[in-house]
Amino acid sequence: MDTLLSYDWFFIATSLVKTLVIIFGVILPMVSYSVYAERRVSALIQDRLGPNRVGFPTTLLGFKKDLQLFLGGLGQPIADGLKFILKEDFTPAHVNKFYFWLAPILVIVPALLTLAVLPFGSSLDFDFIFQRIFGHGFGPVKMVIADIDVGILFVFAISSLSVYGIVLAGWSSNSKYPFLGGVRSTSQMISYELSIGLSVIPLFMIFGKLNLSAIVRFQAEHGWLLFPFTNGEFTWQKIALWVPCFISFIIFMVSVFAETNRLPFDLPEAETELVAGYHTEYSSMKFALFFLAEYTAMIAGSGLVVALFLGGWHLPFIPDGAGNGGLEILHHLPNWIWGFVNIGVFFGKVSVLIIFFIWVRWTLPRFRFDQLMRLGWIWFFEIALVNIFLTAGVLALFPN
């Protein structure tokens, strides 16, 4: 009883710390700086410069110049955030007030909830501190907020809910263009949800489990799904499995683009056609929530791709937070350092994917409505189905 109580207390405390640090310390800064990255990268792609002026306002503290770190404009996200807070939060008279207020919440909450099951690191071992304070250790702490066995299914279940927010925003705005945006969002969802679900079934046939941290652990030991020879021994099965994995990756990646409403599938927003789509009537912080949700969903989607296909926190030759694997010589350093390196590796991979998202956005034109439906229903749905049988065949032909 005594140990159980102490365990519960420790579990709750670590979960709380993980949640707060990840959301306020990592995700929200990452969101604001991916907006900055979006603006800078888009500018460079279009032969412009982008925001390069705003520094940190040290002039307010009596210094002569604003502080400019590395490259200019790093204070821009802070200025943007302040602008959103200071603007008038206007609710038009013709909207359905309750749903109008509910919609931004329904968009941001699922986006943040999906982060709960993402394994953003291996584990952190602070027993050398706990030994001093409590007299006994607690063992390494897993770097995932909720280590649940439904894992990926949880992500699918929750992330689809954000569509309700978009539809409600479009409908409650009681105006033409937001309504069209909301309707588009619905039909977009039913086009990609099927293929995104079917595209990951081959992965479960390979991994044999749904728990995301177990999936990453599997990849750390047997090599990443897309780059099978990052770890583990050479087998013919790996080479044969690479083909269905790659097909799954393409379908999953494209569907994530659709899920996060990014170009080329930003039909619900479609600035050139629908003014601003579902959030036309929104202003100030309520608009900012839609904006934050889009980028949070982008981070969550990238995190999912990293965890499923790109080996999560694993990097060859780097040991995990419990001191397993990696080069022998690196084991001289304490384990918690490698725990932090693993976290850094994960978010590094996510950042690369976000840059890829931005890169694609400023390359491809928007798909037409029927083209997206066609892509989802005629191509990806069938390819994903065939891919399941292909994987099954490969697994039967090349037993481990």
Partner 1 sequence: MAYVVPRPKLTLAEKLYLPAIVAGLAITLKHFKKALFGKGNVTMQYPEQKWDASLPEHYRGAPTLVKDEHDRERCVACQLCEFICPPRAIRIKPGEIPATNKFAKVEKFPLEFDIDMIRCIYCGLCEEVCPEQAIFLRKDYSITGLTRAEMVHDKAKLYELGGVMDGLVHKWNPKK
- Site residues, partner 1 (CB under 8 A): 41, 43-49, 250, 359-360, 362-364
Determine the Cα–Cα distance for residues 390 and 394; give it in Å rounded to an integer.
6
> Residue 177 phi/psi, 5° resolution?
-70, -45
Which tokens in the block code for residue 8? 């519960």
Q: How far is the CB of 226 from partner 1 (least distance, A)?
A: 16
Provide the strand spans (E) within the chain: 123-124, 141-142
DSSP SS3 for 276: coil
Q: How far is the CB of 260 from partner 1 (least distance, A)?
A: 18
Q: Is 201 left (phi over 0), alpha (psi -120 to 50) or beta?
A: alpha
Q: Which is nearer to partner 1, 49 or 82 (CB)?
A: 49
Provide the strand spans (E) within 58-211: 123-124, 141-142
Q: How far is the CB of 361 from partner 1 (least distance, A)?
A: 10
Q: How far is the CB of 179 from partner 1 (least distance, A)?
A: 31
Q: Which is nearer to partner 1, 6 or 363 (CB)?
A: 363
Q: Which is nearer to partner 1, 50 or 77 (CB)?
A: 50
Residues in the chain: 400
Q: How far is the CB of 355 from partner 1 (least distance, A)?
A: 10
Determine the Cα–Cα distance for residues 34 and 256; give it in Å rounded to an integer.
17
Q: Which is nearer to partner 1, 64 or 332 (CB)?
A: 64
Closest CA to 209 of 144, 148, 140, 252: 148
Q: How far is the CB of 360 from partner 1 (least distance, A)?
A: 7
Q: Which residues contact 206 (CB under 8 A, 6 or more apart)?
A: 225, 241, 245, 391, 395
DSSP SS3 for 123: strand
Q: Which is nearer to partner 1, 284 or 351 (CB)?
A: 351
Q: How far is the CB of 386 from partner 1 (least distance, A)?
A: 16
Q: Which is nearer to partner 1, 322 or 360 (CB)?
A: 360
User: CA 276, 277, 279 angle in degrees (round to 5)?
Assistant: 75
Q: Which is nearer to partner 1, 48 or 83 (CB)?
A: 48
